[in-house]
Amino acid sequence: MARDSDSPRPRGLRTRAVHGTTHLPPGAVSTPIVHSSTFTSASIDDMMHQQELGADGSFYQRSGHPTLKAVEARLADLDGAERALLFASGMAAIAAAFLAHLEPGDHIVALQQSYGGTTELLHWGAKRFGWEVAFADAREPDAIERALKPNTRIVHVESPTNPTLCIVDLARTAERTHRHGALFFVDNTFASPAGQRAIELGADLVMYSATKSIGGHSDLLAGVVVGPAKVVKPVWKARVVFGGIADPTTAWLIERSLNTLPLRVAAANANALTIATRLAANPEVVRVFYPGLAGHANHEVAARQMALGFGPVVSFELRDAAQAQAVVDGLGLISVGPSLGGVESLVTLPTLTSHRMLSPSERRESGVADGLVRLALGIEDADDLWADLESALARSRVPAAR
């Protein structure tokens, strides 16, 4: 953890988001973007040395480059981890982590509620690489433990989950996973490094779609893996082999976004709690899914493990699909679109996006009702967001029978 030289007090997250651990020499405040696909050396011996240094060397852009290394150092420090790797997308990061740590015949336990791309990746790995995959229901406290087998190599979770905001007790799951001798992976995208300290809660490897809160401005695609050097090293190798590294411009944009990450996450999380509370009191709304509400099944666990509030995503259930569509189409300030963690609020219908491929009964079983709406809150004024929602809800009301 970063400390000022004259003080033993650990620096706060907002300071670390801006300064990282390094004191820059006088000069440029912003890391220069080095656009170079290759790096020259003074001699063949020096070039061989750079190549051997791997992630720490300057050899060829696919193995690492200066703009990327600067942001990776800041990302690792922010999560309290030894190493971080930046990828071209969240899926490139997650795929590299699995490819690095699974061999044919290895068993992986993931959640039924996993991100759609992750579920597809696991099915793909099962078919082509011989991974043995089990899906545990995040709503059942002991489902992960029951799914463990002698050959379980990885337990991979998300918390909160999409779109019904299930909460997994990360410290407890880490302890059970480690007792079993497996690695504990956390996709921490929904909470972000500012909102949930997954490494400190016991994760061996933490993954992010940096496309979401870390990037935060809906203008790039990126992914991150953080963890101890010995768990990250094989993931670096997978990144070199499969080539999913982030380019210099993306790396620089991520570094710039990190400066405001804790502020943006705190603002979006505060908006989400305000909106969830008002939705819960609205007569049109059947049910609200948000871990910040006292009625949520795992509210206490969420309060313990989420540092800056309960995340930017709120889902709510309306009477039926027709009302959900009418409300979403009736919004003005809040635009229709997938994704989350940007400065602007977005809304989507999970039945038509992430859960489109499931049958209605499979959807109901996973808790995704026909009238479910998913809101991803941005950093706008909560009263403006609520005015938009409230009027769309009022216009969707069935006229009272006379």
Ligand X SMILES: *Cc1c(COP(=O)(O)O)cnc(C)c1O
Residue with Cβ nearer ligand X (242 or 386):
242
Distance CA(158)–CA(75), nearest Å, equals 19
Distance CA(54)–CA(15), nearest Å, equals 30
Catalytic residue among 212, 264, 363, 374: 212
Residue with Cβ nearer ligand X (211 or 298):
211
Distance CA(203)–CA(197), nearest Å, equals 9
Which residue in 115, 164, 109 sits closest to 135, CA to CA? Answer: 109
Residue with Cβ nearer ligand X (192 or 323):
192
Looking at residue 36, its amino acid is S
**Residue 127 is among the residues annotated as catalytic for this protein:** no
Catalytic residue among 79, 106, 169, 187: 187
158 contributes a contact to ligand X by CB under 6 A: yes
Distance CA(289)–CA(279), nearest Å, equals 10
Q: How far apart are CB 67 and ligand X at their closest, in Å? A: 19
Q: How far apart are CB 156 and ligand X at their closest, in Å? A: 11
Restricting to residues 168-227, which ones interact with ligand X according to CB under 6 A?
187, 189-190, 209, 211-212, 221, 223
Residue with Cβ nearer ligand X (68 or 393):
68
Residue with Cβ nearer ligand X (231 or 246):
246
Residue with Cβ nearer ligand X (219 or 329):
219
Q: Which two tokens stand for residue 73?
A: 């150092």
x/- string (CB under 6 A) for ligand X, residues 60-99? Answer: -----------------------------xxx--------
Distance CA(165)–CA(273), nearest Å, equals 13
Burial class (CB in 10 A: 0-12, 13-18, 19+), 51: middle
Order of strands, sheet of 132-136, starting from the edge strand that comes earlier in the sequence: 83-87, 223-227, 205-209, 183-187, 152-158, 107-111, 132-136
Name the residue whose CB lies closest to ligand X: 90
Restricting to residues 324-383, which ones interact with ligand X according to CB under 6 A?
none
Which residue in 206, 12, 180, 168 sits closest to 107, CA to CA? Answer: 180
Q: How far apart are CB 162 and ligand X at their closest, in Å? A: 6
Q: How far apart are CB 180 and ligand X at their closest, in Å? A: 24
Distance CA(281)–CA(276), nearest Å, equals 9
Q: Are 312 and 340 in contact (CB under 8 A)?
A: yes
Contacts of residue 359, defined as CB under 8 A and 6 or more positions apart, other chains included, come to: none
Q: Which two tokens stand for residue 113?
A: 């509620």
Among 54, 80, 117, 330, binds ligand X (CB under 6 A): 117
Size of the site for ligand X (CB under 6 A): 15
**Residue 187 is among the residues annotated as catalytic for this protein:** yes
Looking at residue 200, its amino acid is E
Distance CA(253)–CA(219), nearest Å, equals 9
- Cα 111 to Cα 140, 156, 279, 401, distances in angstroms: 11, 7, 28, 44
Catalytic residue among 69, 74, 77, 115: 115
Q: How far apart are CB 86 and ligand X at their closest, in Å? A: 12
Q: How far apart are CB 12 and ligand X at their closest, in Å? A: 26
Catalytic residue among 14, 62, 237, 319: 62
Q: In the complex, which residues of this chain contact ligand X (CB under 6 A)?
A: 89-91, 115, 117, 158, 162, 187, 189-190, 209, 211-212, 221, 223
Positions marked active-site: 62, 115, 187, 212
